[in-house]
Structure 1
Amino acid sequence: MRKITADWVYPIHTNPIREGVVLVDENGRIEKIDVRENYNADELEIYSGIIIPGFVNTHCHLELSHMKGKVHTGTSLIPFITSVVQQRGASEGAIQEAIAAADQYMYEQGIVAVGDISNVTDTFLQKSKSKLRYYTFTEFFDFLQEQNTETEFAKYKAVYDALEAVGGHQKSCVPHAPYSVSPKLFEAINQVNDGLQKTVSIHNQETPPENQLFLEKKGGFIDFYGGFGIALDDFDATKKPSIYYALQHMDPSHRTLFVHNTLTTAADIQAAQAWSDQVYWATCPNANLYIENNLPNYQAFMDNNARMTIGTDSLTSNWQLSVLEEMKTIAKYQSYVPFETLLEWATLNGAKALGFEEDLGSIEVGKHCGLNLLSNLNEKGELANNTMVQRLV
């Protein structure tokens, strides 16, 4: 039995404990939460800093790990997508090596679970032996072309079927984004997930041309699709931001994870949360800066009691896959977000979004939540530029 203590223990679901002690068995199960005065120093592992549960990364594209540094920063989303399409190819060996390295890095960075996008099967071997718990989102596209829906659905359904949901891993069929999924494809996705309690993710409101497409049927996506020989003759502007199209066609009975939300407004948040009481939001701040040089308005989310989570996106759109670095970015550029709020976003909210809260997300007796030490905090005991994470369990 390990007895681990630090200056503070943050269970997340309840108040921080000064000089708390967490008792953990050999399998990583939390046996007890106590205080240091009840023990002799020689029976304790004593650390400087704060102890928190393991991080949950709710949005990643592990299969793109081999593309680190290949796509320029600051181009905005449409040129970024074009670069990914054009440069995605690589040898199988290079792809697998990068996936394994990224998976191990996330483990070392104190991440215990990942919501991961899979358009292909490249990550499935690593997931079968990973120390991390994965929720795999098989993403579907038909680029608003209903004449292609059946063919495209069959292609991505084969990817979904190839992944065995074993070892605590889960999987769902999910739409890529409002601008890339037709009503017919939404319906087909909903049918696969019907009757099951799933988490369904969707990229949302990342760039101004996305809303412009739905408001006016104008803007960069018209040219983007045209460049690939795709006509949008059958698409009609909804005259509302893109999220309302998603709400019209998605199933509110599932946990729904809206991802990025760079341009999402208070009214959009309110509409989504009126549509379903199982809505979650994933922010990937470093990816937002990498691609669009922009961040969401986190105040709007806090004002509306939105359940925010934290993702890293991929190494194509980020410098590293570290939830701590995402937290630091928020603290740097929108420092009004309270430290304890950031901790909740990075742990318990993420576990709830993926349906893993029975075992992850908070330090509670019976959970296998992992334990992280955050050290080198500032004078307030909060995040600093040189704050580090050490995985203890």
Structure 2
Amino acid sequence: MSEPAAPPSALTARWVAPIDVPPIAGGTVELTPDGRVAAVHDRPDARSGAEDLGDVALLPGFVNCHTHLEFSDFAAPIPAAGAFADWIAATVAARRERPGDRMDRVNRGLAESLAAGVTTVGEIATGAPEADGWNAARLPPPHARPALVAFGELIAPRDPVAALDAARAFLQSDGDPPDLIRGLSPHAPYSVHPAVPTLLAACPDTAAAPWAVHLLETSEEIDLLAKGQGPLAAAMERLGATRSDFGANRLRRDYLEPLATAARGLIVHGNRLTPADLDWLAAPERRHLSVIYCPRTHAHFGRPPHPWLALREAGVRVALGTDGRGSNPDLSILGELRFLHAQFPKVPPADLLALGTRCGAEALGVGGGRLRGGEPADLCAVRPDGASGDPAADLLHSGSRVVAVWRAGRRVV
């Protein structure tokens, strides 16, 4: 992709949706030469010099807080008819058997994300560069992809010290582009030794990074951690990682509580969070923690209702992810929002838009996710379906589509 043209001085559209305040009819977004938002307003005098986008809604780019881009070449999700352990086994096999190059698939997913209006991605970065793993040197230039928070995946069922060494190695970021933040993903309680999160929390380098952990995802996970039983226990036995130290509170003590010591923490999925967990998360000292809900992945597995509404009511930040094409038909956060709007029609559409923009940026600890002075000019224009007078609702109709995307004020789609 060639270098995009210099940013215009301003953009105007039928609607501008800043997210933090109600949509502005005929609004204008003024841009700085270095690709940030200068101002957002509805002053008619500023429209004469602005690029008029016409009958679209201009809003911040969407934020996908959790995805596995290495599966971006999947034409359809992996079936989930059996136990979760069976789906994991099929996913691991697919990872090993996929033809081609892993970073090619990651970059394919980044291109798909950008075309869908996603301008920031929380990616689970798998494997070391020297072993055909995730390699920042092979990313497209910043204008050709979303900004990234790359969570280095730790799969370590047996050796906690080796996991700490791998984590510190991943966080070394010499030569990274400025829009790449490195974090860590001690994958899940069934794939990471219980000592690993505590070791990461005790090390200044790793504790200062953002973390993302798959937690409280299934009843099988709870059976494993509380009783050492079930399909995941059998899978661990096949890995030679069986332990005898299971107990009813191990999951929270060994994984959830160390997560709270990280600079920023994502509880990925959190399908089985209890009312007591909600109270714990809602404490002021844990406002740096967020729950990442992947709605269409949740539906793919046919899981019981997710507690996202109760979490929001308790004051816990909820943001959205797509999880990846292993469990989702695409990488579109707008698709997730449409799905939620259809499932929860009583939730105000403006609140749903915030889940896929501002809440995601806050969860990842990055700029963007709202239109206001000083924020990165990472934007998307959506042609709405319908003319109800509520642009947020019209954006969530099935016929709406992303028609343009800007990174740092420069149009890239």
Length-normalised TM-score, structure 1: 0.87
Q: Distance in 2 between matches of 1:92 and 1:188?
A: 36
Q: Distance in 2 between matches of 1:7 and 1:129?
A: 31
1:139 is matched with 153
Q: Which amino acid aligns with 1:132?
A: P
Distance 1:26 1:295, change over 3 A: farther
Pick from 29, 41, 52 the counterpart of residue 59 of structure 2: 52
| Partner SS, residue 89 of structure 1 | helix
Q: Which amino acid aligns with 2:226?
A: L
Equivalent residues of 2:293, 2:308 under 8 A apart: no
CA RMSD, 1 decimal: 2.7
Q: Which amino acid aligns with 2:345?
A: S
Equivalent residues of 1:60, 1:314 under 8 A apart: yes
* Stretch moving more, 220-229 or 110-119: 220-229
* Stretch moving more, 193-202 or 217-226: 193-202
1:96 is matched with 103
2:401 is matched with 388
Using the TM superposition, give the Cα deviation of residue 355 of structure 1 relative to its aligned residue in structure 2, in angstroms: 1.7
Correspondences of 1:113-152 after superposition (within 5 Å): 113-120=120-127, 121=129, 122-124=133-135, 125-127=137-139, 129-130=141-142, 131-143=145-157, 145=158, 148-152=159-163
* Stretch moving more, 213-222 or 315-324: 213-222
Equivalent residues of 1:75, 1:291 under 8 A apart: no
| Partner SS, residue 152 of structure 2 | strand
* Stretch moving more, 58-67 or 193-202: 193-202
- How many equivalent pairs are there? 386
2:5 is matched with none
Q: Distance in 1 between matches of 2:250 and 2:307?
A: 16
List per-residue Cα deviations over 1:98-127 (Å, max 9, x = no partner). Answer: 222211111111111111111213332443
Equivalent residues of 2:184, 2:209 under 8 A apart: no
Length-normalised TM-score, structure 2: 0.84
Q: Which amino acid aligns with 2:323?
A: D
Correspondence 1:206 to 2:213: no
Equivalent residues of 2:357, 2:370 under 8 A apart: yes
| Partner SS, residue 214 of structure 1 | helix
Using the TM superposition, give the Cα deviation of residue 162 of structure 1 relative to its aligned residue in structure 2, in angstroms: 7.1
Using the TM superposition, give the Cα deviation of residue 304 of structure 1 relative to its aligned residue in structure 2, in angstroms: 0.7
Equivalent residues of 1:54, 1:361 under 8 A apart: yes
List per-residue Cα deviations over 1:117-148 (Å, max 9, x = no partner). Answer: 112133324436343211111122322x3xx3
Q: Distance in 1 between matches of 2:250 and 2:345?
A: 28
Q: Distance in 2 between matches of 1:257 and 1:339?
A: 24
| Partner SS, residue 317 of structure 1 | coil
- The sequence identity of aligned pairs, in percent, is 23
Equivalent residues of 2:12, 2:47 under 8 A apart: no
Using the TM superposition, give the Cα deviation of residue 325 of structure 1 relative to its aligned residue in structure 2, in angstroms: 0.6
List per-residue Cα deviations over 1:33-92 (Å, max 9, x = no partner). Answer: 221533566854042242211111111112232445372244453211111122212467
Correspondences of 1:298-377 after superposition (within 5 Å): 298-357=308-367, 360-377=368-385
Equivalent residues of 2:291, 2:319 under 8 A apart: yes
Correspondences of 1:1-393 after superposition (within 5 Å): 1-25=8-32, 27-35=34-42, 37-39=44-46, 43-69=50-76, 71-90=78-97, 93-120=100-127, 121=129, 122-124=133-135, 125-127=137-139, 129-130=141-142, 131-143=145-157, 145=158, 148-155=159-166, 157-161=168-172, 164-194=175-205, 197-232=208-243, 234-237=244-247, 239-240=248-249, 242-274=251-283, 276-357=286-367, 360-378=368-386, 379=388, 380-381=390-391, 382=393, 383-393=396-406
Using the TM superposition, give the Cα deviation of residue 295 of structure 1 relative to its aligned residue in structure 2, in angstroms: 4.6
Q: Distance in 2 between matches of 1:162 and 1:253?
A: 18
Using the TM superposition, give the Cα deviation of residue 291 of structure 1 relative to its aligned residue in structure 2, in angstroms: 3.2
List per-residue Cα deviations over 1:240-274 (Å, max 9, x = no partner). Answer: 48345423333435211111112223331221233
* Stretch moving more, 346-355 or 292-301: 292-301
| Partner SS, residue 88 of structure 1 | helix
